Amino acid sequence: MTDVHARFAHVLTPIQLGSLTVRNRIFVPAHTTSFGIDHLPSERHLAYHRERARGGVGAIIFESIRVQSNCLGRPQAVGGFTRDCIEPFSRIAAAVRAEGARLLGQVIHLGRQVDGDFERTVSWGPSPVRWSGTSAMPHAMTEDDMQTVIDGHVATARNLVEAGLDGLEVQLGHGHLLQQFLSPLSNAREDAYGGSLENRLRFPLAVVAAVRAAVGRDFCLGIRVSGDEFVDGGLHLDEVCTAVAALAQAVPLDFVNVSHSAYHASYSLATQMADMAFDPQMFRHLPGAVRRRLHDSGHAVPVMSVCRYDTLAEAETIIAQGETDMVGMARAHLAEPALVAKTLAGREDEIQPCIACNQGCAGMLEKNMPIRCVVNPRAGVENEWPVPATRARPSLGTCW
């Protein structure tokens, strides 16, 4: 074993996510790019993800794939509920797999934060509770509405399986529709879907169970959750741990991807893509708590961790400590697609580090524009810009 491989022994150990083998423990989590064209994946998506697969990651999770027209929200959003998506997704999956990585997809209904202006649809949610003071008042969903959302998840999942994706995650986090049902902050129902945690979990559980039935037991399926909403009256870690354990008991899961926050016009939303003002340590305890609860309940499901990981050394430490099984780096790979490969080649001085400024990524998304990166001008335009000549990163005090 080489010195560099000894340094990153945990990171470089392959992992099984159900029947799916992933070559290492680093993944690119789902993150919105605004690269979609006519609600379909584009050539820009293909080039972007192929470069990060070539850079050495184990897996990539494609950004939020909408399950119905009433949650598209913006022209660049990607949908998976029509068969038109199968061919472009198939090409992206093949490109990622050709580089040795795995492509998974995130299936989602955004719920109340989609105002419906673009698609001329009504916002949906568990209750008539706005996510911000100026947002649209959501329509309180009926059981018939819930069934259409289940059907949309199933149709989308089947299309993505046919397209050749290696796995899926159902989005139960970030304050989107299924988390809106889970959270007492957004769910004020008085029927069988509100009140106790068991009731609030009823609809999200039905969605995950339906997707599992649709894709079969041998296909890789997991969930993404927010470990804490970081807002008064919202979900807290202990309740999330209880919900995740109940989900794992009811439905076979191959992984649990732990994030945090809610799409709520407060401090909570600021934590979702935590910028340089946040100490990343405030998020580090969340995946470990979920992982321990799963193991204690007899479900040794691999757990993923995200937010402000910048180096393989950070990933190695938290995996070695038993706090997580995989580490996700979105902005770090936006800044440096070859982060893994350069580290393993002893070229760490060439890595373009993410500075957590959020100007080119989150800042562009707020304007409904394709993401870019302050430190990597090739991000999102990989087909147009040639790969730059190798050079070391300048030392402090040196002009670029």
- In the chain, domain spans: 3-365
End-to-end CA separation in angstroms for the chain: 37
**Predicted pLDDT at 117:** 75
Mark out the alpha helices in 273-393 (DSSP H runs).
285-296, 312-320, 331-335, 339-344, 362-365
**Predicted pLDDT at 190:** 98
**Predicted pLDDT at 397:** 42
Please report, for the chain, how many H helices and E strands are present, in that order. 13, 13
CA dihedral for 234, 235, 238, 243, sign (positive or negative):
positive
As a dihedral over the C-alpha atoms of residue 43, residue 49, residue 50, residue 55, rounded to 10 degrees, the angle is: 150
**Predicted pLDDT at 13:** 98
Which residues, 6 or more positions from 295, have their beta carbon under 8 angstroms from its beta carbon? Answer: none
CATH superfamily of this structure's domain 3-365: Aldolase class I (3.20.20.70)
**Predicted pLDDT at 119:** 73
For 155, phi then psi, to 5°, come to -60, -45
* Measured distance CA(272)–CA(263) in Å, rounded: 8
- Residues in the chain with pLDDT values less than 50: 394-400
**Predicted pLDDT at 398:** 38
For 158, phi then psi, to 5°, come to -65, -40
**Predicted pLDDT at 399:** 36
Angle at 202 between CA 72 and CA 162, to 5 degrees: 50
Q: What is the DSSP letter of 33?
A: -
* Measured distance CA(163)–CA(304) in Å, rounded: 24
Q: What is the DSSP letter of 37?
A: B
Q: What is the DSSP letter of 370?
A: -
* Measured distance CA(109)–CA(71) in Å, rounded: 6
Place of tokens 């040196």: 398
**Predicted pLDDT at 248:** 98
Which residues, 6 or more positions from 166, have their beta carbon under 8 angstroms from its beta carbon? Answer: 20, 59, 93, 97, 102, 103, 104, 220
Q: Which helix (H) or strand (E) holds 312?
A: helix 312-320
Q: What is the DSSP letter of 84?
A: G
For 180, phi then psi, to 5°, come to -60, -35
Q: Which helix (H) or strand (E) holds 60?
A: strand 59-66
Residues in the chain: 400
Amino acid making up residue 133: G
